[in-house]
Amino acid sequence: MSTVFSETAWLCLAVTAALGGLVLYKFKKRPGQVGRTVFCLAGFCGGAYLLSLSLFWGLILFSLSCFLVYVYLSGQELLPVDQKAVLITGGDSGIGHALSKYLDELGFTVFAGVLNEKGSGAEELRRTCSTRLSVLQMDITDPQQIKDAYSKVVQKVQNRGLWAVVNNAGILGLPADGELIPMREYKRCMAVNFFGAVEVTKAFLPLLRKSKGRLVNISSMAGGVPMVKLAAYGSSKAALTMFSAVMRQELSKWGVKVSVIQPGGFRTNIVGSSEMWDKLEKDILDHLTPDVLEDYGQDYILEQRNFVSLTQKYANPDVCPVLLDVRHAISAKRPFAFYTPGSGTYLWLCFVSYCPTGIVDYFSKKMYRRKLCFESSLPRALSVPPWKKKAT
């Protein structure tokens, strides 16, 4: 009996080793978020093995787990490029610009929608990329420009079809206390980050349904994690995240797969220029009521731009994790519904989703104070000592 058990155990061990080798081989070829998922599955398998009371059944269970992981990784294999056509919005700078170059290098036919086809970003794409890349004038808040871009895409792809749409174009708006942000900025964020993405999606969906392709929406961690100063931006990204989730369910019957990317802090040009900030600050001061201006104080309002410089200090300048996840979303046989590139992004989203609100608020306040030094800046009405208020 012991001999039979020994032979069976050795056989299970050999099968486990073989399957483990296959898993490692496939794991090394997987980009982006897949690696994190595999580590979680491997941890589960290891835990199940350690908790097993029997070596024999432990090996059986571990072998089965390795097989399931192997099947899972097989579903994450990337489809051949074959010059698949991809439309990317917001290609002037930042993630959209880098993504256009990256997908062009991989052999995709890229349509880079830009806000200004004569700008430096558009010119750089024309100069550095292959002839497969086309620059399209595409202000996503302008329905006519979207229609014109659609016509040019159809004319070029013809029977090959459009494989993927990446809604990347977005603006940060004015980071400030929600009460201070003018309604114009709330509407502007929604117009670009949400309504623009929806309109592009609706325009190009007939092509995606025909190719059974991919819709990828670039949202943000701020769309799932409440972040101070980002009421306008976070609300628009939360709307985009929910839109993506609904479309994922509705488009599944057409064979179209929908993914949403929720990046953490990456350093891009989304913060805008100094001239833009001067205009936004003037816009705030011009539209505040006397009571609100008195309570907050002009000094506090003008300090809001420090938020951007401080957050940029902790932002990651390397956007490669985002590019890898987008590539996986448009190329994998079975892409994920959600991607969370960036250090700690996934943990923060889980923390906010499952922890009591009071605990989330406490740790958020501690983190922001430690990193962004908010305790040194308070609205005028909160920073004036009580005895001074009585004296006035």
* Strand ranges inside the chain, DSSP E: 85-88, 109-114, 134-137, 164-167, 214-218, 257-261, 338-339
The token duo for 197 is 């993405």
Q: Name the 3-class secondary structure at 337.
A: coil
Q: Shortest CA distance to 16 belongs to which of 68, 73, 59, 69?
A: 59
CA–CA distance, 177 with 27 (Å, rounded to integer): 44
Provide the pairing of β-strand 257-261 with 164-167.
unpaired
CB within 8 Å of 56: residues ≥ 6 apart: 5, 8, 9, 12
Instruction: Give the other-Cβ count within 10 Å of 277's Cβ.
Output: 17
Cα–Cα distance measured from residue 62 to residue 15, given in angstroms and rounded to the nearest whole number: 10
In the structure encoding, which two tokens stand for residue 47, read together? 């835990």
| Count of CB atoms situated within 10 Å of the CB of 187 | 14
CA max distance for the chain: 94
Backbone angles phi, psi at 259, to 5 degrees: -130, 150
Q: Which of 70, 233, 339, 368 is catalytic?
A: 233
The answer for residues whose C-beta is within 8 angstroms of residue 312's C-beta and 6 or more apart is: 267, 271
Query: What is the rounded distance in angstroms from the CA atom of residue 342 to the CA atom of residue 291?
Result: 41
**Residue 25 is among the residues annotated as catalytic for this protein:** no
Query: Could you say which DSSP state residue 271 is in?
Result: G
Please give the distance of CA 239 from its chain centroid, rounded to a whole number: 13
CA atoms of 165 and 107, how far apart (whole Å): 16
Strand residue runs (E) in 330-387: 338-339
Residues designated as active site: 233
